[in-house]
C-alpha cells in the first residue's frame, strides 16, 4: 500500500511574493541609477574603490533582476514537466548570485594588486563625495529590503540583501580610503580598501553558494537530523520501524520527506491512512510540508537500513 499526503506551506506564498516583487523592483531602480553615477565617478576620479563598488552594484542589479525572474517563475502552477512547479528556480538564481559575488571579489583583488604597484592619481574630493552619497543610498536600499517579510527565510531575498550589504561596505571602504589619501597621502589605501571589501563580498557569496548548492544537491536541510526524524516517526503508535528515509528542500520554506514505515499487516487501507495522516501532522510541526509514505508489513522485502542504499551498478536499457 502506498499513501501520499501533501500539506501546503502555512504562510500565504503568493501574497508574500507580491510584496517581495515590489521591494525588489524599487530596489533595482535605485541601485541601477546610482550604479551609473559610481561608474562615471570612478572613471573620472581614477578610484578603484569606486569602480569596484560600481561593479558590485552591477552585480546587485543582476541579482535583483534574477530574483524578480525567480519569483515570477515560481508562481507558475505545476505541470506534467515540472511536478514540483518552478519554485526551485529561486535556488538556481541564488546560486548564480553567490557565484557572481565570488567572481567579482576575485576580479577586484586582481585589479587591486596592480594598483599597489602602479598607483594612479586619484581625485579624492570627488571620490569622497560620491562614496558618501553611495553609502546613504545603500543604507536606504538595505533597510528597504530587510523590512521585507521573506528576507530572513528566503535564500533568494537573503542573497539580494547580502549583495546590497556588500555595496554598503564598499562605500564605507571608499570613504575611509579617500580620507586616508586626503590627510596622509596614502595612495595604497584605495586598493587596500578594495581588497578588504572584496574579501567580505567573497565570504557572503560563498555562504549563499554553499546553501543553494546543498539544496540543489537535495541534501538534508541543515536544521534537521535524519536520526532525530526517525525517532519522531517512531513515536507514532502503530509504527514499528522506518527505513529508506529521505529529507530534502524543494525551495525556501518548503521541505519534503519520504520514507517506508513498517506497520501491522492486518491494518485496513483506512486504518493505514489514518496512521499516515497522524505522521504527516507530526512532521509538519518539524517544518516538513510535503510527505510521501509507503506502508509495509513486517514481511516486506526491503532492507532495514535507515538510509536508502542504491546499487552501485545500474542496468541500462537501449
CB 257 within 8 A of CB 283: yes
Q: Which of 58-67, 122-131, 163-172, 291-300 bottoms out in mean pLDDT, i.e. has the lowest?
A: 58-67
Q: What's the pLDDT tens digit per position in 227-271?
A: 999 999 999 999 999 998 999 988 777 899 999 999 998 899 999
CA–CA dist 315, 262 (Å, integer): 29
Sorted by sequence, the CB contacts under 8 Å of residue 233 that are 6+ apart come out as 239, 242, 245, 259, 261, 279, 282, 283
CA–CA dist 213, 92 (Å, integer): 9
Q: What is the dihedral of CA 225, 218, 8, 278, to 10 degrees?
A: -40
CB 148 within 8 A of CB 157: yes
Q: What is the pTM of this model?
A: 0.69
Residue ranges of the domains in the chain? 9-216, 226-296
Higher pLDDT, 214 or 127: 214
- What's the CATH class of domain 226-296? alpha beta
Q: Is the pLDDT of residue 117 over 70?
A: yes
Q: CATH assignment of 9-216, given 3.40.50.1970, 3.40.630.30, 1.20.1510.10, 3.40.50.2300?
A: 1.20.1510.10
Mean pLDDT to the nearest integer, 39-55: 76
Sorted by sequence, the CB contacts under 8 Å of residue 65 that are 6+ apart come out as 28
Q: What's the pLDDT tens digit per position in 216-231?
A: 888 888 888 889 999 9
> Do 9-216 and 226-296 fold alike per CATH?
no
Binning pLDDT at 50, 70 and 90, where does residue 4 land?
Answer: very low
Amino acid at each position: 500500500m502506498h499513501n501520499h499526503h501533501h500539506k501546503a506551506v502555512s504562510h500565504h506564498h503568493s501574497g508574500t511574493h507580491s510584496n517581495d516583487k515590489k521591494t525588489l523592483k524599487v530596489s533595482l531602480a535605485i541601485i541601477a541609477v546610482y550604479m551609473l553615477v559610481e561608474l562615471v565617478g570612478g572613471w573620472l576620479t581614477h578610484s578603484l574603490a569606486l569602480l569596484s563598488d560600481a561593479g558590485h552594484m552591477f552585480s546587485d542589479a543582476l541579482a535583483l533582476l534574477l530574483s524578480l525572474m525567480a519569483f515570477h517563475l515560481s508562481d507558475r502552477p505545476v505541470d506534467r514537466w515540472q511536478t514540483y512547479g518552478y519554485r526551485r528556480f529561486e535556488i538556481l538564481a541564488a546560486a548564480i548570485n553567490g557565484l557572481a559575488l565570488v567572481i567579482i571579489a576575485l576580479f577586484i583583488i586582481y585589479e587591486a594588486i596592480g594598483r599597489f604597484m602602479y598607483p594612479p592619481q586619484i581625485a579624492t574630493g570627488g571620490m569622497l563625495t560620491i562614496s558618501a552619497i553611495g553609502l546613504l543610498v545603500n543604507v536606504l536600499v538595505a533597510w528597504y529590503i530587510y523590512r521585507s517579510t521573506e528576507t530572513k527565510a528566503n535564500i533568494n531575498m537573503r542573497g539580494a540583501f547580502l549583495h546590497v550589504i556588500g555595496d554598503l561596505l564598499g562605500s564605507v571602504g571608499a570613504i575611509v580610503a579617500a580620507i586616508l589619501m586626503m590627510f596622509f597621502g596614502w595612495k595604497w589605501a584605495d586598493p587596500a580598501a578594495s581588497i578588504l571589501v572584496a574579501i567580505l563580498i567573497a565570504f557572503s557569496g560563498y555562504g549563499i553558494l554553499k546553501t543553494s548548492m546543498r539544496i540543489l544537491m537535495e541534501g538534508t536541510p541543515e536544521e534537521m537530523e535524519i536520526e532525530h526524524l526517525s525517532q519522531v516517526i517512531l513515536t507514532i503508535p502503530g509504527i514499528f520501524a522506518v527505513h529508506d528515509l529521505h529529507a530534502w528542500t524543494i525551495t525556501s520554506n518548503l521541505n519534503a520527506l519520504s520514507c517506508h514505515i513498517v506497520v501491522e499487516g492486518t491494518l485496513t487501507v483506512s486504518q493505514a491512512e489514518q496512521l499516515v495522516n497522524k505522521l504527516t501532522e507530526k512532521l509538519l510541526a518539524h517544518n516538513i510540508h510535503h510527505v510521501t509514505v509507503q506502508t509495509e508489513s513486517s514481511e516486506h522485502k526491503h532492507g532495514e537500513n535507515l538510509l536508502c542504499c542504491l546499487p552501485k551498478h545500474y542496468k541500462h536499457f537501449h
